[in-house]
Amino acid sequence: RQPRPAAGAPAEPRLLLCRDVAVDGAGLVWNAQGQVAPIYHRLLPPDLPPLPEGPALAEAVLATETPRNFYHWFAEGLPALAWRLRPDAPQWPILYTPRIEGFLRATLDLLGDSLGAAPELRRVEAPLLVERAWISPRGMQFLYHGAYFADLYARLVAQALRQAAPGVTGPRLYLSRRDVPRRGIENEAELEEALRRLGFTVMTFQGVPLARQIRAFQEAEVVVSPHGAGLAHLVAARPGLKVFELMPAWLGTEKLRSCYSRISAFRGHHHAMWLEPVDPVTQGWRVQLGPMLEALGRFLDAPRPGAPPPPPS
């Protein structure tokens, strides 16, 4: 018998089997009766297209939901495929949306021989028919049930540590967003210089191979970063990492984005968030360096939860 989940715990992931359906490259899955699989998160078209002509695939695994960035792939789309990426999994083809092609191929290339046989990939450009389409639910909340995904991330980390040479970063990592125009910090250059003086290695992940990105999070003991997709690597980081997230907060107009702090809670990291107001006119934001650095110092000095107390002096 499986233990019952704790009260309020997210539901366990369960595979959904859809029979005799059409599949497109934007996550829409529908049948001849006009029923739509509950994975489509956009407005439905006024009229569903007719089922496509031609032969149907007998069986396939769907990865056709459209991710917005690396976070939605690494912390949601990838774990949804964990069952299919086991070496002993049924060798059904994976149908994927063009939007994840770079993420998917980089991840499978890194997993390499740990996959056993390389999975067959089929890019969905136009709708096609599938007799039996297997769908795994996506969502960061499913990471609560880490046993379903631990082996996949462990294999990914092991391959990354073999491929990427040591010394990507030191124990203190600042993950910069200077190369990402959206939500950029106006005084990020000053912030980077202040953190370098505290012993932080400053990195940006733009153009960095996936193996080096993963190794950077494995080598780090403390990560400071603005809110952004690179923090998805918390999913595979060693438990106990200290994370100091810089958050632009549109007070009163936007819910606080807590996805990364929730991942830290699931993975056993020590996570703090530093909120900064956003200019309502320019949408720009700055880090108040003095107060932030004081708070960071206290965070660095604080013992990790569950750590034994220091010996008496």
Strand order through the sheet with 128-135: 29-30, 16-23, 128-135, 57-63, 94-96, 121-123
- pTM here is 0.90
Give the pLDDT of residue 306.
63
Residue 33 above 90 pLDDT?
A: yes
pLDDT tens, residue by residue, 148-178: 999 999 999 999 999 999 999 999 999 998 8
Mean local confidence (pLDDT), 95-113:
96
Q: Which of 62-71, 89-98, 112-121, 152-161 shows the lowest mean pLDDT across its residues?
A: 62-71
Residue 231 per-residue DSSP state: G
Q: How confident is the model at residue 252 (pLDDT cuts 50, 70, 90)?
A: low
Angle at 285 (CA atoms; ends 283, 289), nearest 5 degrees = 175
Supply the angle between the helices 210-219 and 150-163 in degrees, to the nearest 10: 100
Give the pLDDT of residue 186.
92
- Closest C-alpha among 110, 33, 18, 113 to residue 64: 18
Residue 284 above 90 pLDDT?
A: no
Block residue for tokens 């089922």: 51
Judge whether 96 and 104 are in contact, CB under 8 Å.
Answer: yes
pLDDT tens, residue by residue, 49-76: 889 998 999 999 999 987 779 999 999 9
- End-to-end Cα spacing for the chain: 50
Q: How confident is the model at residue 3 (pLDDT cuts 50, 70, 90)?
A: very low
Give the pLDDT of residue 232.
97
For every residue of 11-61, DSSP letters joined together read: PPP--EEEEEEEE-TTS-EE-TTS-B-TT--SPPPSSPPPPPPSPPEEEEE
Give the pLDDT of residue 307.
63
CB burial string 223-239: b at 16+ within 10 A, e below: bbbbbbbbbbbbbbbee
Judge whether 224 and 234 are in contact, CB under 8 Å.
Answer: no
For every residue of 93-154, DSSP letters joined together read: PEEE-GGGHHHHHHHHHHHGGGGSSPPPEEE-SS-EEEEEEEE----GGGGGSGGGTHHHHH
Give the pLDDT of residue 280.
81
Average pLDDT, the chain: 90
Residue 253 above 70 pLDDT?
A: no
- Closest C-alpha among 72, 122, 76, 127 to residue 96: 122
More confident residue, 257 or 195: 195
Q: How confident is the model at residue 238 (pLDDT cuts 50, 70, 90)?
A: very high
pLDDT tens, residue by residue, 286-312: 999 999 999 999 999 998 766 665 565
CA–CA dist 195, 173 (Å, integer):
9
Q: How confident is the model at residue 208 (pLDDT cuts 50, 70, 90)?
A: very high
Give the pLDDT of residue 303.
86
CA–CA dist 201, 169 (Å, integer):
6
Give the pLDDT of residue 313.
55
Give the pLDDT of residue 60.
98
Residue 23 above 90 pLDDT?
A: yes
Q: Give the tokens for residue 214.
A: 């993963």
Torsion of the alpha carbons at 67, 70, 72 and 73, rounded to the nearest 10: 80
Give the pLDDT of residue 100.
93
Domains for the chain: give ranges and CATH numbers: 16-162 (no CATH), 172-301 (3.40.50.10140)
Give the pLDDT of residue 6.
55
For every residue of 71-86, DSSP letters joined together read: HHIIIIIHHHTTTTTS
Amino acid 131 reads E
Residue 2 above 50 pLDDT?
A: no
